[in-house]
Structures are given as C-alpha cells and as structure tokens.
C-alpha cells in the first residue's frame, strides 16, 4: 500500500469517528437539519488533508440520509461575501453569523495536525440555535490495525451505537397545540398546560404525575426516544423526564434527572418502583432555569441512556408493559415546575 493511500485511509477512518459524534447532536424533523462543514485547517500536515477530511465528512453526512449538507461552492460564496476564508481563521462569533447567512442549523470546523507520524483530527460543532460549541473528540491514528480498535472503543464506550441504528422518524411533538390529546388540568395539586410550544407540568404540593400518549414501538427492533426538558422552579431533589413502555400510571419505565445533578432509571411494576440505575452525572445542567436533552436508544439487546449527548448508562432491554410513552414528574412532598418542549420518537 502506498504512503499516500495509507494516509487517505487513516483520514477516512478518523473522520468516521467524528461523524459518529455529530450524528448524536443532530435532530430529526420533517425538514432535515442543514449542516455546513468548513475546510479543516492543516497544521504541520499536507495542505490537502484538511480539505480531504472536510469533503469526506460531507459525503458521510449525506450518506446518513438525515441531513441537508451544503456544498463547498455554497460555502465559498458565503465566505467571500463575508470576506472570510474557508479554514483556520473563523471564531465562533463569525461562525454563528455565517450560519445565519447560510440558513444552517450546525457548522463543523476543525483542524488536521501532524506530529511525527501521527495524525490528529480536532473538531467542534456550533449549534446555530444556541450558539454553543460542542467539542468533538480529538482522534489520533497512524496504524490502521490499531485504528480499528480505537474506532470500536470510541463508538461503543463514548458514543454508543447511534451510528448503527437503522431507524426512521415515527412521531414528533413540539406542543404548539394539543392535537395529540395530552392531559390538561389545573387544580390545587397540579397543572398540566400547553402554552406556546411548551408542555408545562407543575406539581404544586408534591406527588407523582405522568402524562402519556400511545405510540407503538417494535420491541424486537432498534428504537430511539429524544426529549428536551427545562426545570423552571422548585425542588432539586426529585426527578423529571420521560416514561416509556407504559400500560398505565402504575406500570411503566422512566428515565429522569434531578436539579441537583442525578439521573435515575426505574421500572414501575404495579406501582412499586425498582431502581435499575442511579448516579451523579456531571453533564447534567443543574438547578432552576436549566435545560437538558434526554435520550434512550435500544440497540440490539441493550438500552442506552444519554444526557446532553453523553452516554451515561446501559442496561439489558426489558419487555414493555404497554405502548404508551410521555412525560413524568415527581416531587415527594415538595413543589416543582417543569417544561417539556420537544419529543422525537424513532423506530421501524
């Protein structure tokens, strides 16, 4: 194998790892999210490698079928209008301005660094919705045999199996109205209300509250459920999040977080909770005013749990009680107010 060919294989393998990071951060909708990949800067490495990495990433993103990927010519035109160049000189503020001009949801930037015989790809992705940068993994390789092991370790232990899931959108909810018939009530104990893209669940004097819709999933196939939750006020000691595999309010599974930074996975069987996972998690945004993205993914015979795109736990898959899933809030004897804004369900 020629040295040039080996370098290209290394670049392609490393790029696959980066793609697995970014797939987790994207979201599905009727209109595919738009992604722009700027040419990566080459530092100490051949100039063409940065462009090669970017082009491979564009191709890989297109192949997922989940994104609208901007062509290089579109990027060049926008950058020219902004009097910028493709690689190496764009700060996050300029990226956000460029993203708005392009109509992109995400922009990926990075570099290819050569030190000795090793090549390292550094990258980050800017979310145009929040302006926040998500650091990508710095991946390094110069031996194709070792690179295969590195790929397996990163994908399985850090990013889970999302890149392997063969699923399609089944359901999405943004709570702009109540076309799906979510539970609505306002009394002395609780409030369930839909208001301008938010599903507000307030436990006024404590208790456990669940609101669910019937969304059948094929349990023998892979599936994925994403949810965005916002803690508005109240206790930090009790949980809020998602339920699934539910038959009724006494039989379901739940994945919740607390304002103090813990996550909990429980199985509720005939009203009796069985705690399966529970631990403090640094990736949780804590306290009132915080927002977190929760996700569960069935991959093969396991269920994986993600918080803000970080894999936090994995357990063997257990059969459902029923076909309902939705929102759950419990607050002991205290008050809490939570808002749910986005719910996506994928399966076969």
Q: Which residue has the higher pLDDT, 68 or 248?
A: 248
CA distance from start to end of the chain? 41
Q: What distance in Å separates the CA atoms of residue 239 and residue 109, rounded to the nearest whole number? A: 36
Contact 111, 43 (CB under 8 A): yes
Q: What distance in Å separates the CA atoms of residue 152 and residue 190, rounded to the nearest whole number? A: 47
Res 182 pLDDT > 50:
yes
Which pTM does this prediction carry? 0.59
Contact 25, 133 (CB under 8 A): no
Res 236 pLDDT > 90:
yes
Burial profile 186-206: b = 16 or more Cβ within 10 angstroms, e = fewer: eeeebbbbbeeebbbbbbbeb
In this structure, the number of other CB atoms found within 10 A of the CB of residue 38 comes to 23
- Pairing, β 106-115 against β 41-43: parallel
Q: Which residue has 């190496």 as its token pair?
A: 88
The per-residue pLDDT for 181 is: 94
Res 307 pLDDT > 70:
yes
Res 145 pLDDT > 60:
no
Res 130 pLDDT > 90:
no
Tens digits of per-residue pLDDT, 183-215? 999 999 999 999 989 999 999 999 999 999 999
Residues with Cβ within 8 Å of 187's Cβ and at least 6 positions away in sequence, in order, are none
Hey, what domains does the chain have and what are their CATH numbers? 3-159 (3.40.50.10610), 168-347 (2.60.120.560)
Res 339 pLDDT > 60:
yes
Rg (CA), the chain: 22
């Amino acid at each position: 194998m020629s040295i040039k060919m080996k370098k290209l294989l290394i670049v392609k393998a490393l790029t696959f790892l980066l793609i697995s990071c970014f797939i987790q951060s994207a979201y599905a909708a009727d209109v595919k999210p738009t992604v722009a990949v700027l040419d990566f800067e080459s530092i100490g490495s051949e100039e063409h490698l940065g462009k090669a990495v970017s082009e491979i990433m564009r191709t890989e993103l297109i192949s997922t079928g989940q994104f609208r990927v901007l062509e290089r010519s579109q990027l060049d035109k926008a950058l020219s209008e902004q009097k910028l160049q493709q690689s190496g000189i764009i700060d996050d503020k300029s990226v956000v301005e460029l993203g708005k001009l392009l109509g992109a949801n995400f922009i990926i930037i990075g570099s290819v660094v050569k030190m000795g015989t090793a090549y390292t790809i550094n990258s980050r992705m800017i979310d145009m919705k929040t302006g926040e940068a998500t650091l990508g993994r710095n991946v390094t390789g110069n031996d194709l045999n070792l690179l295969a092991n590195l790929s397996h370790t990163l994908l399985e232990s850090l990013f889970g199996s999302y890149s392997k899931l063969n699923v399609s959108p089944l359901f999405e909810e943004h709570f702009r109205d109540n076309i799906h018939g979510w539970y609505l009530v306002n009394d002395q104990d609780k409030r369930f209300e839909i208001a301008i893209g938010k599903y507000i669940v307030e436990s006024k004097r404590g208790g456990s509250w669940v609101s669910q819709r019937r969304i059948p999933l094929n349990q023998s196939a892979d599936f994925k459920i994403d949810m965005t939750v916002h803690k508005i006020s109240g206790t930090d000691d009790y949980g809020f999040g998602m339920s699934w595999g539910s038959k009724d309010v006494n039989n379901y599974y739940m994945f919740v977080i607390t304002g103090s930074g813990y996550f909990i996975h429980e199985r509720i069987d005939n009203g009796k909770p069985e705690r399966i996972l529970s631990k403090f998690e640094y990736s949780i945004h804590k306290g009132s005013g915080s927002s977190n993205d929760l996700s569960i993914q069935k991959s093969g015979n396991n269920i994986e749990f993600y918080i803000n795109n970080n894999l936090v736990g994995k357990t063997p898959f257990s059969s459902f009680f029923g076909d309902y899933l939705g929102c759950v809030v419990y607050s002991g004897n205290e008050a809490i107010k939570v808002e749910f804004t986005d719910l996506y369900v994928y399966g076969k």
